[in-house]
Amino acid sequence: MITLYQFPTSPFCEKVRRMLGYKQLAYTLVDVPRALVQEYRHVSPIGKFPAIECDGAAVYDSTDIAEFLDEIVATPRLIPQDPQARALAHVIEDWADESLYFYEIEMRLAWRHNLPKALPSFAATLPGLSEAELFERIATGAKQLTTAQGLGRKPADRVVKDAARHIAAIDGLLGGRDWLVGNMLSIADLAVACQVNALRYAEECERLIQRVPAVLAWLARVDQAAPDVSANSPA
Ligand SMILES: N[C@@H](CCC(=O)N[C@@H](CS)C(=O)NCC(=O)O)C(=O)O
């Protein structure tokens, strides 16, 4: 039996929910309260989520979770076996996790005009705060993170220009094909799609994505092949 420990609003946790949906694995969800992460050190010693527990084994980090799930259930595979496809999937996944992630933090959460759309889904893991306190906590925390990383110091129009380039890159990588790597869904599709789904909370990104039918069709394909049964939908 698999238990997924998550922050429901995290794109990395959505990525793991979709891995489990793709492999049609049943699981129990535990929403981790942000104030109590220390109580979950047995599954995530670094205090980051997602983490899973499966028959006594604990694994944290979505990339390691993908490897683990491929080990316990061989098909359908998340990580391609062909060395070149595997390398490309790894690089695309890392682009999503380490670059696109900061765009969603900045545009969905640090840009105050976009935050109200995402706010209700944060209430479950930050209980006891008024709506105004929740808003301030998330907006300030997100801005601190992106400022330290660098993106948060860029003017908004430059961030939107970058985002347009990233969305065009997805279109370019697809090149008219169904999936980002080879002819099967892979960890690359899940990693990128989950960051894009978070980016769609930002009105600027939603406008950009609506102009790229191939990316919209690919998102629908990912959703169909790897459903997120416990999805938080935008308010
Ligand atoms: N590389 C990790 C990233 C996970 C991650 O950064 N999760 C965030 C939520 S989106 C988190 O747990 N943040 C809490 C913290 O940094 O203390 C993965 O792929 O699982």
- Indicate if 200 and 150 belong to the same structural domain: yes
Average pLDDT, rounded, for the chain: 96
Distance 60 CA to ligand 1 centre (A): 9
Distance 10 CA to ligand 1 centre (A): 8
For ligand 1, whether the C-beta of 232 sits within 6 Å is: no
Whether the predicted pLDDT of 169 surpasses 50: yes
Kindly provide the residue ranges of all beta strands, DSSP E only, lying in the chain, ordered along the sequence: 2-6, 27-31, 51-54, 57-60
For ligand 1, whether the C-beta of 64 sits within 6 Å is: no
Distance 142 CA to ligand 1 centre (A): 13
- Indicate if 135 and 43 belong to the same structural domain: no
In terms of Cβ atoms closer than 10 Å to its own Cβ (0-12, 13-18, 19+), residue 191 is buried
Q: Which residues have a Cβ under 8 Å from the Cβ of 143 and sit 6 or more positions away? A: 106, 110, 152
Q: Which residues have a Cβ under 8 Å from the Cβ of 28 and sit 6 or more positions away? A: 1, 2, 3, 4
Share of the chain above pLDDT 70, in %: 98
Which of 109, 116, 152, 112 shows the shortest CA–CA distance to 131? 116
In a domain, 22, yes or no: yes
CATH number at residue 92: 1.20.1050.10
Per-residue model confidence as pLDDT tens digits over 83-96: 999 999 999 999 99
For ligand 1, whether the C-beta of 7 sits within 6 Å is: yes
- Indicate if 101 and 53 belong to the same structural domain: no
- Partners of residue 29 on adjacent β-strands: 4
Whether the predicted pLDDT of 70 surpasses 70: yes
Q: What is the pLDDT of residue 123?
A: 87
Mutate to test the pocket of ligand 1, among 10, 145, 201 (most ligand atoms within 8 A of CB): 10
Q: Whose CA is nearest to atom 20 of ligand 1?
A: 61
Per-residue model confidence as pLDDT tens digits over 102-122: 999 999 999 999 999 999 989
Supply the range of the domain harboring residue 43: 2-72
The tally of domains found in the chain comes to 2
Q: What is the pLDDT of residue 197?
A: 98
Mutate to test the pocket of ligand 1, among 12, 94, 192 (most ligand atoms within 8 A of CB): 12
Q: What is the pLDDT of residue 127?
A: 87
CATH number at residue 54: 3.40.30.10
For ligand 1, whether the C-beta of 34 sits within 6 Å is: no
What's the predicted TM-score (pTM) here? 0.96
- Indicate if 98 and 174 belong to the same structural domain: yes
- Indicate if 122 and 16 belong to the same structural domain: no
Return the ligand 1 atom nearest residue 11 CA: 10
